[in-house]
Structure 1
Amino acid sequence: MGWLSAGEAYEVSLIAGKVVARSTARRGSGRPLKSLPKALRDHPEVDRLRQLNEWLDRHAATCRAQVGAWVVSSLPVPTALLARVWPDPAWQEVLRDLVVLGDDPDLPGFLRDATPTGDIRIVDLEGETRRLSAGTVTLPHPVLLPHLADLREFALELDVTQRVEQLHRAVWAKPAEVGPRKIEVSDFRQAQVGTRTALLARATSLGCQVSGSVVTCRVHEAGRTVEATAWLDGDYWSDWTMGNLSWRLRDGRQLPLAEVGPVAWSEGMRMASALSGGQTAGAEKGA
């Protein structure tokens, strides 16, 4: 952003999330000062810039949370919406280089642009820039992505950095054979998860909720909301241990494992593995 007058001797600006000042005196170099002069610390313009920076931080966090929800739930996103928010640096930072799918489920690509006409441009696995004119696209959960290993390898070649965890999110594929009457996963049972304070911190970092002795993560998949539920045992004065992992609908009905979708399965297993500090046999850890 530009420089704002702050009294007779200084100008201030917001650079890289920090309020900086420069001298407007004749002998001033025009370069930002190493520290904010004491005379400016309570200046109204400095206070306004600090408030602006706080708002920008909140806005960036909101963008990350919204795009993260699109990825986890693999919801269709109108390309017109992407075009509308793309000029905003906060939106563009979290959207750029995410893998998107249009009408062709076998043609994933890295998002590079969203034009005012509603088209988006991607870089495909051949390194070619393509234009997608679909009305909606998805930013798929990695367990649903075709050619996931190839996309991860190509992302390394392109030096891609995703601001929202997608390609390198740890995924767990649901076993092909699941007993029709089985309703719980016991792989993590008796795993030590530390104190309640440590548990809360770990669950929060995963975007999960803790209520009493239950940790849940919520996924919208195939038109319904599914909650993966990890049961724990412990009290405020001792370390906690994991119980079984299960899935249920919003109305509380527990799902047989055979009815759990691939995204809900992967996210539930990811939650339980992260809480327990380990992985189950056959888990694929994100790079």
Structure 2
Amino acid sequence: MSWLSAGEGYEVALQEGRVVARAVTGKGPGRQLKSLPKALRDHPEVDRLRRLTEWLDRHADACVAQVDTWMVSSLPVPTGLIARVWQDEAWRSALRDLVVVGDDPDDVGFLRDAAIGQAGDALGADTRSAPGTEAGELRVVNLDGETVRLSPVTVTLAHPVLLPDLDDLREFASELGVAQRVEQIHRATWNKPADLAANVTEVSEFSGGKFASRFQLAARASSAGYRVSGGYATCRVRDVGRAEEAAVWIGEPYWDGDTETGNLSWNDRDGRSIPLRDVGPVAWSEGMRMAATLYAGRQVAEGAVV
């Protein structure tokens, strides 16, 4: 960001998320100062940059949250949209190095770049979109270590439980030094057992985790990004073409004594209980992940094996 005049003898700028200053007069003009001079701390330009920093932080968090929603629900995302938002550093940071899947299940790779184009232009790829409409081209690194170009109408930011080559992708990511802003390939996953009975609707694996108060358990759920509603911590996932909500009992809302985690269950959008054998693979994994996250914060007796 360019330097802005801030009173007599100083200029300020935004660098790496903080406001910095430099002197433009005196013995060392142009020298960046180690800290903001007292005279600048309440200057309007400094205040404006601080508010801009706060907005940029909120924007970056919103980008990560949106990309996480796309990934968790494995929603098809227009390639042209990814190419457009790629120009924004916050979006680029949230999307870079995520595993994307094209029209062909074998078109899988780590997203490294995106470009906007028009159908039939110099991108030189079949965009499969209407003539004259905006399209996008993605550059990904596949498991063969090759950089390839993908330009389907949409791509999927796949949930890891749906990636058949997850172990290979994790190994290759380590070789590439991949660091994802949105937790994807290193996300904890659970595969649904194949032998579930038809009438079972709850999982008790993570029930019985004791907490000093219901407030403490609710705070743990909220800080992990889960919704607290009534006596439950919940997370909603769009899976197998429908919305499914996982729920874990955390205690009565106004209970001020100790509490413990309850069973895990899933409901459809109308609040009806879903038999475990009918829960989608992503909803199952995300529900188990939520229950395990809450349970991990339980009180553990000294010397107990966990």
Which aligned pairs between 1:177-192 and structure 2 lie closer than 5 A? 177-192=195-210
User: Which segments of 5 or more consecutive residues in structure 2 lack a partner in the other structure?
Assistant: 118-135, 298-306
Matched, 1:257 2:252: no
Q: TM-score, normalised by structure 1?
A: 0.93
Matched, 1:238 2:252: no
Deviation at 1:258, TM superposition (A): 1.2
Deviation at 1:240, TM superposition (A): 1.4
Match in the other structure for 2:50: 50
Match in the other structure for 1:126: 144
3-state SS, counterpart of residue 115 of structure 1: strand
Deviation at 1:194, TM superposition (A): 4.1
Which aligned pairs between 1:136-151 and structure 2 lie closer than 5 A? 136-151=154-169
Calculate the aligned-residue CA RMSD, in Å.
1.4
Give deviations 1:232-282, integer Å, cap 9, x for gaps.
34664332112211100121111011110000000111111111118xxxx
- 2:214·2:251 contact (CA, 8 Å) conserved in 1? no
3-state SS, counterpart of residue 176 of structure 1: coil
Which residue, 278, 288, 295 being the options, matches 1:276?
295
Q: Distance in 2 between matches of 1:189 and 1:43?
A: 54
Match in the other structure for 1:158: 176
Give deviations 1:136-163, integer Å, cap 9, x for gaps.
0000111011200010111111111000
3-state SS, counterpart of residue 197 of structure 1: helix
Deviation at 1:201, TM superposition (A): 2.4
Deviation at 1:30, TM superposition (A): 2.0
Cα distance 1:106–1:29, how it changes in 2: closer, same or farther (>3 A)?
A: same
Q: Which amino acid aligns with 1:136?
A: T
Which aligned pairs between 1:25-104 and structure 2 lie closer than 5 A? 25-104=25-104
3-state SS, counterpart of residue 119 of structure 1: strand
Deviation at 1:119, TM superposition (A): 0.6
Q: Distance in 1 between matches of 2:266 and 2:258?
A: 25
Moved more, 1-10 or 180-189: 180-189
Give deviations 1:3-50, integer Å, cap 9, x for gaps.
001122000001111111100014225232111111111111111111
- 2:234·2:247 contact (CA, 8 Å) conserved in 1? yes
Give deviations 1:81-130, integer Å, cap 9, x for gaps.
00100010000001000000001113320000111121100000111000
Give deviations 1:149-186, integer Å, cap 9, x for gaps.
01011111111100001011100000011111111112
Q: Distance in 2 between matches of 1:3 and 1:56?
A: 18
Q: Distance in 1 between matches of 2:211 and 2:31?
A: 51
- 1:108·1:146 contact (CA, 8 Å) conserved in 2? no
Match in the other structure for 2:190: 172
Moved more, 6-15 or 215-224: 215-224
Q: Distance in 1 between matches of 2:230 and 2:200?
A: 25
Q: Which amino acid aligns with 2:145?
A: G
Q: Distance in 2 between matches of 1:226 and 1:136?
A: 23
Deviation at 1:215, TM superposition (A): 1.1
Q: TM-score, normalised by structure 2?
A: 0.87
Cα distance 1:191–1:172, how it changes in 2: closer, same or farther (>3 A)?
A: same
Moved more, 213-222 or 77-86: 213-222
Match in the other structure for 2:286: 267
Match in the other structure for 2:21: 21
Give deviations 1:171-208, integer Å, cap 9, x for gaps.
00000111111111122232224422321222113221
Q: Distance in 1 between matches of 2:60 and 2:294?
A: 27
- 2:246·2:287 contact (CA, 8 Å) conserved in 1? yes
Deviant stretches of 4+, over 2 Å: 193-198, 232-239
